[in-house]
C-alpha cells in the first residue's frame, strides 16, 4: 500500500502516521519527492481500510499495490534514480550504453 501525503503536510503528522503504522507491524519506507511525501507500507495490508487514511486531512490518496517490484515503482519512488559511476551519471534523462566483457570477448 502506498500513502501519498498532501503537499505541505506537517512533518509531525507524517512521523505520527509512520509511528502508528510501525506499531501495527508494518515496515514504512518514506520517500520525499519534489512536492509530496510518499509512505510505502511493506507487509500484509489486506486488513487495512483505505478510508481510515483518507479521513486524515493530510492524506492526498491511498493506493493498493498488487504489482511485483512495488518498491521500484514510480508510485512509490516518483523521482528519478541517478547513480554516479566513476564520474558518469547513470539514470535520469540521459541515455547511457554499457557493455560488459562478455559482449567484447564473445565472437
Asked whether residue 12 is assigned to any structural domain, the reply reads yes
Domain that holds residue 70: 2-79
Domains of the chain: total: 1
Asked whether residue 63 is assigned to any structural domain, the reply reads yes
The tens digit of pLDDT for each residue in 46-104 reads 889 999 999 999 999 999 877 666 666 666 667 777 888 888 888 888 788 877 666 55
Asked whether residue 69 is assigned to any structural domain, the reply reads yes
Q: Which residue has the cell 491511498?
A: 62
Asked whether residue 94 is assigned to any structural domain, the reply reads no
Confidence (pTM): 0.64
Asked whether residue 104 is assigned to any structural domain, the reply reads no
Beta pairing partners, 4 = 38, 61
Contact yes or no for 31/81 (Cβ under 8 A)? no
Asked whether residue 55 is assigned to any structural domain, the reply reads yes
Amino acid at each position: 500500500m502506498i500513502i501519498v501525503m498532501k503537499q505541505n503536510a506537517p512533518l509531525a503528522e507524517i512521523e505520527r502516521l509512520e509511528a502508528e503504522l510501525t506499531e501495527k507491524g508494518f515496515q514504512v519506507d518514506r520517500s520525499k519527492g519534489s512536492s509530496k511525501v510518499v509512505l510505502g507500507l511493506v507487509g500484509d495490508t489486506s486488513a487495512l481500510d483505505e478510508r481510515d487514511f483518507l479521513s486524515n486531512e493530510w492524506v492526498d490518496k491511498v493506493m493498493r499495490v498488487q504489482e511485483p517490484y512495488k518498491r521500484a515503482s514510480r508510485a512509490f519512488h516518483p523521482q528519478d534514480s541517478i547513480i554516479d559511476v566513476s564520474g558518469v551519471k547513470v539514470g535520469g534523462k540521459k541515455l547511457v550504453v554499457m557493455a560488459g566483457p562478455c559482449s567484447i570477448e564473445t565472437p
